[in-house]
Structure 1
């Protein structure tokens, strides 16, 4: 597929929402580039191919989770996992990406060869191994560990008599009908699982150590449906996407400015949904709104399951698990025939790939972000880490557009290498890009995230509107990128 004398122009690692999005941007803007997409799994989809638990769905509306260039055509704003897979498949087909995809290729090493201005990439395959040479490397491998989710080490869990299931590795033959199921966790996965298991005939109890902020929204976007009746689909989609991103941006910033006011409003909405089933303790998080990702629920399905008596909440730290129940420190006992540990992800940046520069290993914790996707003093490498306070795909679209501009500039100058150069005597002041977010998986994996400055291009920003403006308007040749041709600076 690639040799030292005939390398790829671009190699993308990951065939999920990031990899497919990046590849589509390249095909749209730089169709002549020689490209390949590698994925460790047997099919495309990434998260949406891996997670198969009951009810799995988007945690953002599809008008913002969908790509800017590919209008979402479903009738629901919140889509099921299989619908998202179908959407990604259509995008791949429309942009002729399938012939570039190579599955069962797990990239383990990538070494930059300065003499030849090439990345040498090694992958394990079902038949052994494969090596690739590429001028530019893009990592779209997600942000969490596909092999090992977070294990909170719950006392006595191994003594439980029934099945213990994890959403990341859901057994397709499991029948929840008639079972008492305890779902441990209070995040988006747990809130999705509870009503889906209840609909399948289970009696479900969500066991939460710490409450989360919840917001019920209509499953169908009335604005989008109205816009599609009077505008062409692409215009209606673009307008809805702009509106929804603006509303989310406003709501996030208002939550950070006025957490008590927003928290009181959210609680009142929950009271209205639950009526006499409302429990103040169960819906009072010890942190402000949007310090963790908000749990959205279509048509309030989680609250509906509680109102109808098919689901319940138990709040408190787990003391231990015994043969047929979970015992909380407050004395409450949750009897169960099966336990689901929706206890969170394990952060894994850059696909756990061992990256080196001329044989010297790169510790990305010692490098600084550049333009939300590249890294100080690392040439011809970009990676996608989506927004924490908006749809992941917003970052994919913005970075995809910017990288196409960068690659076009390199072509115009006949440059082999582009490196964000940061001198050793810089005066950058570090700013935690995860500050203000208290999610456990972020805090546990903070040491894996590259450094970020308080301002300028050397940062990973979560300000959607500012990022969009900067990445579209600021020049590629900004004085920080160094371009060279076969080792010679331009």
Structure 2
């Protein structure tokens, strides 16, 4: 690789994906110069941004954590604060913290084939600057940091209390002994409700339709046994491998045997709140894993419902009133505070603009190459994890692929690598980026996402074994090294 670049690689984002990529470069590409751009003043990404009560992982930390940095805490499902501390420890341990340029936003990225270099337009407190690099890796996550999906509800202006969104949780929000309505049924709502239940006068989850919710142990008993026998670090790799396979097996079992899967999770819920409550509020009309299944450690949501500190109302909202939420069926949910856990606004590339030799790159018109690069866009990879198991499992595979691409470029003397469509490939059917996933945020953003094709390597598999096989080679007929 050559050209008038300041750095070999620039990683955009210092969250769980960016720190993973930086650690991989430190470990496997020690000769490469790199920097990490982070628009916030601290690292952590999701785990720095979200501060609402009860924020926690929705996957076990043995697989959401890094394979190269054992998770040694007792809790399998960890709090947001514990995860942020883990990320900070990782960044410090691998010498990444000093590579992060905090308070620096990527505004634009322009590729020049004349010198095989990306010119990055950056913005920080001192103004606008530029940085040139040979390779760009986007670890920007998948949602907008400017704000969540926040549709205005009829009558919202009339509500006399406070309306908040979890993505912008106010530090001064006092919900003690107040009546709180949480609108939504996804992971955020299901986390918030039991966390608020112990301190509010009453918390009510208001959902349009149910979500699949699976009860999981707060502490993994098998992991505890292995830790006692081997110590936490030695036990980690064994637990991680077991959980990796278990996640995939559970997913495929749910897809192939949906009735049996439903029965297992429904029976567990019935034991806590009874059949009537479960049928009314926790029996979805779609199939398991059409949308992500939410985890409830220790059945905390259902325990709150059983003890009366929380309840659920299912149906369509008619409007907000001065004192709460009016449902179409005539039910009124009294509230002093309304939390709109209405989801995320999905974006790619951190909302920066991209062009290749002056031609604008529209992510929604590109094809995804193996779920990590874009057709026709040179020297660029991006991090997007699994949606049906732990995000990080795929991220680490992507980072390994990136390092092998960089090594291969050096071996063959290439300055540029571009995923290139073969003649006729542009006529492939444009399939959704995550085919089979019907989550609202994915559907809303479908036109902004690159498409899958109908054959390799223009696929984004959500299966670990298939992904690892697909990422084996960095030298195929599609990647053009020049």
Tell me what 1:438 maps to: 438
Task: Output the CA distance in 2 between the equivalents of 1:76 and 1:464.
Answer: 24
Q: Any conservation in 1 of the 2:374–2:419 contact (CA below 8 Å)? A: yes
C-alpha displacement at 1:458, in angstroms? 1.2
What 5-or-longer segments of structure 1 have no aligned partner?
A: 485-490
The superposition leaves residues 234-286 of structure 1 with CA deviations (integer Å, 9 ceiling, x where unpaired) of 44111111111111111111111122222222212110121377241211211
Tell me what 2:202 maps to: 203
1:14 is aligned to 2:13: yes
* Aligned positions, number: 480
Q: Secondary structure at the match of 1:403?
A: helix
The superposition leaves residues 102-136 of structure 1 with CA deviations (integer Å, 9 ceiling, x where unpaired) of 01111110000111000000011111012110000
Which of residues 460, 474, 477 in structure 2 aligns to 1:476?
A: 474
C-alpha displacement at 1:225, in angstroms? 1.5
Q: Any conservation in 1 of the 2:434–2:460 contact (CA below 8 Å)? A: no
Q: Secondary structure at the match of 1:339?
A: strand
Tell me what 2:145 maps to: 146
Please say which of residues 449-458 and 210-219 is displaced more in the overlay: 449-458
Tell me what 2:77 maps to: 78
Q: Any conservation in 2 of the 1:433–1:461 contact (CA below 8 Å)? A: no
Q: Any conservation in 1 of the 2:5–2:117 contact (CA below 8 Å)? A: no
Q: Any conservation in 2 of the 1:64–1:244 contact (CA below 8 Å)? A: yes
Please say which of residues 148-157 and 68-77 is displaced more in the overlay: 148-157
Alignment of 1:55-454 (within 5 A): 55-231=54-230, 233-275=232-274, 278-426=277-425, 428-454=428-454
Q: Any conservation in 2 of the 1:256–1:290 contact (CA below 8 Å)? A: yes
Task: Output the CA distance in 1 between the equivalents of 2:405 and 2:191.
Answer: 40
The superposition leaves residues 323-349 of structure 1 with CA deviations (integer Å, 9 ceiling, x where unpaired) of 001010111110011100001111111
TM-score by length of 2: 0.97
Q: Secondary structure at the match of 1:278?
A: helix
Please say which of residues 293-302 and 267-276 is displaced more in the overlay: 267-276
What 5-or-longer segments of structure 2 have no aligned partner?
A: none
C-alpha displacement at 1:197, in angstroms? 0.6
Q: Any conservation in 2 of the 1:40–1:103 contact (CA below 8 Å)? A: yes
Q: Any conservation in 2 of the 1:108–1:123 contact (CA below 8 Å)? A: yes
Q: Secondary structure at the match of 1:161?
A: coil
Q: Secondary structure at the match of 2:8?
A: strand
Tell me what 1:463 maps to: 463
Q: Any conservation in 2 of the 1:277–1:307 contact (CA below 8 Å)? A: no
Q: Any conservation in 2 of the 1:277–1:306 contact (CA below 8 Å)? A: no
Task: Output the CA distance in 1 between the equivalents of 2:429 and 2:237.
Answer: 37
Task: Output the CA distance in 2 between the equivalents of 1:346 and 1:430.
Answer: 22
Q: Secondary structure at the match of 2:246?
A: helix
Task: Output the CA distance in 1 between the equivalents of 2:311 and 2:231.
Answer: 44
C-alpha displacement at 1:411, in angstroms? 1.2
Task: Output the CA distance in 2 between the equivalents of 1:238 and 1:167.
Answer: 34
C-alpha displacement at 1:137, in angstroms? 0.1
Label 1:393 to 1:88 Cα distance change in 2 as closer, same or farther (>3 A).
same
Q: Any conservation in 2 of the 1:4–1:133 contact (CA below 8 Å)? A: no
Task: Output the CA distance in 2 between the equivalents of 1:409 and 1:95.
Answer: 24
Task: Output the CA distance in 2 between the equivalents of 1:435 and 1:238.
Answer: 31
Task: Output the CA distance in 1 between the equivalents of 2:54 and 2:186.
Answer: 14
C-alpha displacement at 1:148, in angstroms? 2.6
C-alpha displacement at 1:482, in angstroms? 1.1
Q: Any conservation in 2 of the 1:461–1:467 contact (CA below 8 Å)? A: yes
TM-score by length of 1: 0.95
Task: Output the CA distance in 2 between the equivalents of 1:7 and 1:176.
Answer: 50
Task: Output the CA distance in 2 between the equivalents of 1:276 and 1:358.
Answer: 61
Please say which of residues 377-386 and 360-369 is displaced more in the overlay: 360-369
Task: Output the CA distance in 2 between the equivalents of 1:413 and 1:366.
Answer: 30
The superposition leaves residues 52-109 of structure 1 with CA deviations (integer Å, 9 ceiling, x where unpaired) of 0001000110001001111101110000001000000011011100111001111110
The superposition leaves residues 136-156 of structure 1 with CA deviations (integer Å, 9 ceiling, x where unpaired) of 000000101111311233111
Q: Secondary structure at the match of 2:129?
A: strand
